[in-house]
Amino acid sequence: GTRTRAPVGQDQMAPLKTIVAALTVGLSVSFSTPGTTLPLPKEAPTGLRTDDVDATWMEFLDTPPQEAVDLATELTDRAVQLVGDLFAADGNVELALSGDLDVVVSGGGNYDAYYMGIAMVLERAKTRPDGSEAYAIQRHAGASAGGMMPFELALKFETTTLESHLSYGVLSEQYASLYKSALAAMYLEDHHWRMMASWQTETYAETLSNLDNRIFLALSCLDPLPALIKVANFTAVDDQATHAFMATGTYLEMYDGMVCSDGGTMSGSKMTPLFQDHQRPQLIVDLMQTGYPSSMVYRVNTTQYYDLIKQGQDEAIEWLQTGVDPRGVDAITLCPVDADVKGTSASEPQGFEEAVHAAARLCPPQGV
């Protein structure tokens, strides 16, 4: 379900995890790109020394490299310009969104750049030039990268999140020799996201509770049978937020005494854990429809990541104007408040696979 990072640490759990992973089909982890299944390393590939790259990554988290800062500034200015143009002719122009809504984002690894671009537009377009509200986003739910990115944006806000992700592209290029093999690239990103998860829990410990009941992370756990577990409360106590953040998007992670795995596994074929309470319409972003190469799932190329953010910005603008997915692939859809979404839950996990297919049929793009 597809941030798909390999496990790091907790070596004492390795035998149990290996057995569980081997015996439990429901928690098998694979890339969501059809036909792509790659083995994930339990420890650093032989000969891979990470001391230097780890130290640089921690430096980048505290002080992003200038290249990442400059790219982030360009993307921010671009989002401001696009939304300005959206309202330029008519500040009261009708948009495809209005009122209160929730957002659900699928898994998709580093395709999360697409959602970053969408989020940059949505955040700005929600307020019209006269200060009035065009729409209001109340909750986010997501699996894997689709849970991680909204979590990061809510906790660290846009600039820090954007700079961190672009910094990882800079890091990957600076240490390109370490990222040559797919196995090493997967291991390193998982390893570094664990470092970032701990860092952000510690750095933002006092504001983690601001995410409560606003951010819903989907986890695939043994409870004792495979089940979709939603996490919507966060704390630095016992590193709970770190474990929840990693459990939605990694290979294997312990959370609340359960063996858990990438949340996309139990969120249906679209990896979209829709809310079940029919409180609001749900804007659904399917990261797997970006059209970008499958290798991007586990590798960050700065130029590629930057370009996909721009694509997300452009397509969000067009969708707001028309209510229709620009490429006709349902990368962005709106699920009506009264749609039958039974079993695609971030709130009441049951009966996922069939229900997600049904929800996909019942929640087509809505016209303005």
pLDDT in tens, 276-305: 889 999 999 999 999 999 999 989 999 999
Q: What is the average per-residue pLDDT within 215-231?
A: 95
Tens digits of residue pLDDT in 127-162? 999 999 999 999 999 999 999 999 999 999 999 999
- CB-CB contact of 150 with 9 (8 Å): no
Q: Residue 137: which residues within 8 A CB-CB, separation 6 or more?
A: 100, 101, 102, 103, 122, 126, 283
pTM for this structure? 0.85
* 229 bridge partner residues: 219
pLDDT per residue as tens digits for the range 204-215? 999 999 999 999
Residue 343 makes CB contacts below 8 A (sequence gap 6+) with 349, 350, 351, 352, 354, 355, 356
